[in-house]
Structure formats: structure tokens, C-alpha cells
Structure 1
């Protein structure tokens, strides 16, 4: 079996599931079967690939957990060493402790980045949102301007050029969004979140998003001899401290769909 075909089918299955809020076993089986049929693959082959992927993810999580535990232990030892050095007025020991602590801090930052970074686009992921923006009840810890971005005609790009091309588009779009110099989160599939500081008004954030899209519309992408343009729709919501994330997302989402209706009147499908 061609590994490229299996990879493309597996990625399509993952992308289809990412767009759903709830995935029951029956829904998963149905999507799984249809995609396998589309690619002419025995569903058992895809099952084996999925199982291998699951095992790899579990092993990665276990490894991260082990490393995190080790770092906590080392940090505890370094802290005790620093206290001993201060009590003994031992400057040499204190310098060693400071050096060890700084090395541990850098390692912990690398571990945090691997947990909170989307592997494809290198943007932040949903875990980053939960850890940095929201309290335990899913409410914003502080006010911000939230923008939601959804790619236009992305499914057509995937269906026409394949998921390798789709992945390249996602990487390109994420890089373009990151040029705004603010946190970018891959929220799922072809959806991204951007977080503007409250020093910027919603009106200024809207102008920056508009300019970002206009610059993108001037670009032509190429893949395997095909040239095409891509674009996105967006919605913006000024979030208050203590506001529910789900409510804020719903408000921004509504604006985004209104924007999608408008932008599609001037931007046609890339392969129509």
C-alpha cells in the first residue's frame, strides 16, 4: 500500500473529525469507512495506521509526563541547593545553583512549547488558550480582542490538490497571520484565533485584519503546476474580563459568517 495514499486518507479522516464538536463511535466509523472507500483502501489498513498513531501519541504524552516530573524534581533540588548556599554564604555554590536553575527554566519552557504548539502550523493550540487566557470555569482572565479566522474554499483546495497541498496552505496562512505580531491559535481544521491586546480597539483590530486579508488576496500560490489564490473570512469580538469563552466565540463566529457572505461576492472559488 502506497504510504502517501494512506497518509493522505488518515489526514483527511483527522481533518473531518476536527470540524465536529462531538464524535461518537458510529460517526467515526462512518467517516472512516467513506474515506477508506474513496481512496480504495481496506479499512483494516487505516485502522492499523490509526492504532500506530495512537500508540505514538500515548508514548509522547508519557515521555512528556516523565520529563516534566524529572524537571520538577531537579528544580526542587536546585531550590534547596540555593537556600543552603545563601544560609552558608557560599557564593560559589549559589552561582552553581543559579546556573542550574536557569538551565531548568529553559528546559521547562521548551516542554511547555511542545505541549502548547500545533505541530503543523507552529501556532499555539487549544491547550494554550485554556492555560493562558481562561480560568477554571472557561472565562477570560482579562479583557482582550478576539478574532476568529476561517479559510474560504479550503475544502475545494483539499479535494482538488490533496491534503499535502492543504497542509501547505495552512502553513502559509498561519505564517501570514503571525506577521501581525500577536498570538495566533490553530483552533481546529482551518480555523484560527487571534488575540489583540485591549490597547487596540475593536475598530483598529478590524482594520488590521482587513489589511491582512487584502495583502493575502494579492498573493498567488502554486502547487504541482496549479496556480490559485486563497483568502479567509473573519469576525471580531471585544471580550470582557470574566466573559465566557464560548459566548465570545459565538459572537465572533456570527460576525465571521456575515463576513463570509460578503467576501464570497468578490472572491470566487480557486478552481471553479
Structure 2
């Protein structure tokens, strides 16, 4: 079966590409995906079979998730009724038991939320978390913040040289460093991350991002005997409450590409092109 990591990487890149378009028709989506698939060496005919398998797996996962959600709701309803009955009858033992059951259920629900909102590879938040916690129904920010977009440098060369397993390790390595900043980190695309700063000003955020990048560059990685360094480019935008997410992202994206031009003058590719 086709490597899932390759399909995921191509899918994320396709999502990032179409997110920047105002209108996306099936023909436009197909054209973009076919070009990206060619870049990743994906055989379209082979992909059809692999997609069916992945779709069946996702359907099964969603059905399991739906079943668990239903069971938790029923359990919570039953437990709350027991607690009310215990309070009415002054049954301290029954009330204590209901509290224990509720606490156990709360832990199960937290675990369920993790499976819904966490990126399976990097354990950062995913786009569902972004929509649920930061944006309103019109995709506007619920409150002011500093948005940072991060894009890995030379990531395609790492994948092409060492393979997608190495690429996954790099994603986990960099995401762990981003998470050390102790702010929400969201995997937005294949090698793109978003960070949300709520307390700091833009100057402080810039210093933190530069320090994180500097730390990364000081830690070489070794994979199958090849030694290399990784880095990222970033762009910041101070978002106002009710600002459209798409406009804020576009502004941060422009600044990220300015930073990428600058950083690539100072940081060479991880591997010789020869």
C-alpha cells in the first residue's frame, strides 16, 4: 500500500494551496492536487485504491468516535441523575460514588477531546482545535492575539534526500521546540505551523521565535549517517478581535516569506545540491 505519510504530506500541501483561493471548483482542486502528486511521485491510479482504504479507516474511526460520544452522554446523564437522587435523600455514600464516576468520565472525555483536536504525528493542535477555540462562526478571531506562521526551510530537500520517515522526525523535532514556547501550536499544513501569543507584544514574540530558531540551528540531527541542521522561517501579525482569520493569515504569510528570503541567505541547505 502507498505510504500514508506521503499522501498526508501531499494533502496538507494541497489544502494550504486552496486555502489561499477565493473560489475552488472540483476542476481547480483536481488540477492542483495532480501537480502536487507529481511532485511527491504519487501514482494517481495507485492513489485511488489507497484512498479507498484510507477512507474506510477514517469512517471506522469516526463511527467509533461517535459511539464513544453517545456512550459518554448516556453515562453522564445517568450519573447526574444518581447524584441528584443522592443529594435529595442525603445519601453521602451514593453522592461520593457519583462524584467518582463523574471524575472518571471527565478523564475519558478529555481523552476523547485529545483524539479529536490533536495532530497524530506532532501532538500539536490541529485545525479543528483552531476553529473550535479561537474563531467564531464567521472565522473571525474571538479576541486579540499575535499570530505567528512557521514554515520549515528546505523541508522538501530533506524529504527527497532522506525520505518521509526522516521528514516526519524533523516535523516532530521542530514542533517540540515550538511547543517549548508554552503557547498554543497548531499544525496548519504539511510543514506549516501556527502559534498563538495572547499575553506578549510583537517585539517580545519576535525575540522568542528567533531564539527558538537559534536553538534549533545549534542542534544537528543525524539520520542514516547523514548529519544536518534544520530551521524555519516565520511571520507575525497582530490580530484584532473580530479580524478575519484569512486576512490575518495572509498578512503573517507575507512577512514569513520576507523572513525566508533573509534566513536563506544566512542558512545554507542541509545537503549539497551536488
Q: TM-score, normalised to structure 1's length?
A: 0.90
C-alpha contact 2:9 2:190 (8 A) present in aligned 1: no
> Distance between the aligned counterparts of 1:258 and 1:46, measured in 2?
36
Once the two structures are superposed, residues 79-101 of structure 1 have per-residue CA deviations (whole angstroms, 9 ceiling, x without a partner) of 11111111111111111111111
Once the two structures are superposed, residues 99-132 of structure 1 have per-residue CA deviations (whole angstroms, 9 ceiling, x without a partner) of 1111111111100110000011111000001111
Tell me, what secondary structure is at the counterpart of 1:188?
A: coil
C-alpha contact 1:6 1:46 (8 A) present in aligned 2: no
Residue 225 (structure 1) aligns with: 225
Runs of 4+ in structure 1 deviating by more than 4 angstroms, as ranges, are 5-9
Residue 65 (structure 2) aligns with: 64
Is the alpha carbon distance of 1:250 and 1:16 closer, same or farther for their aligned partners in structure 2, counting shifts above 3 Å? closer
Shift of 1:163: 1.0
Q: Which of 34, 37, 43 is the equivalent residue of 1:30?
A: 34
Once the two structures are superposed, residues 197-221 of structure 1 have per-residue CA deviations (whole angstroms, 9 ceiling, x without a partner) of 22x1111111100111111111211
> Distance between the aligned counterparts of 1:241 and 1:75, measured in 2?
35
Which consecutive residues of structure 2, in runs of 5 or more, have no partner in the other structure? 19-23
Is the alpha carbon distance of 1:173 and 1:238 closer, same or farther for their aligned partners in structure 2, counting shifts above 3 Å? same
Is the alpha carbon distance of 1:15 and 1:247 closer, same or farther for their aligned partners in structure 2, counting shifts above 3 Å? closer
Please say which of residues 220-229 and 43-52 is displaced more in the overlay.
43-52
Paired residues in the alignment total 265
Shift of 1:235: 0.8
Residue 165 (structure 1) aligns with: 166
Matches within 5 A, 1:131-150: 131-150=132-151
Is 1:17–2:14 an aligned residue pair? yes
Residue 120 (structure 1) aligns with: 121
Q: TM-score, normalised to structure 2's length?
A: 0.89
Shift of 1:30: 2.8
Is the alpha carbon distance of 1:32 and 1:46 closer, same or farther for their aligned partners in structure 2, counting shifts above 3 Å? farther
Is the alpha carbon distance of 1:130 and 1:267 closer, same or farther for their aligned partners in structure 2, counting shifts above 3 Å? same
Q: Could you say what the CA RMSD is over the residues aligned between the two structures, in angstroms?
A: 2.1
Shift of 1:14: 3.3
Residue 21 (structure 2) aligns with: none
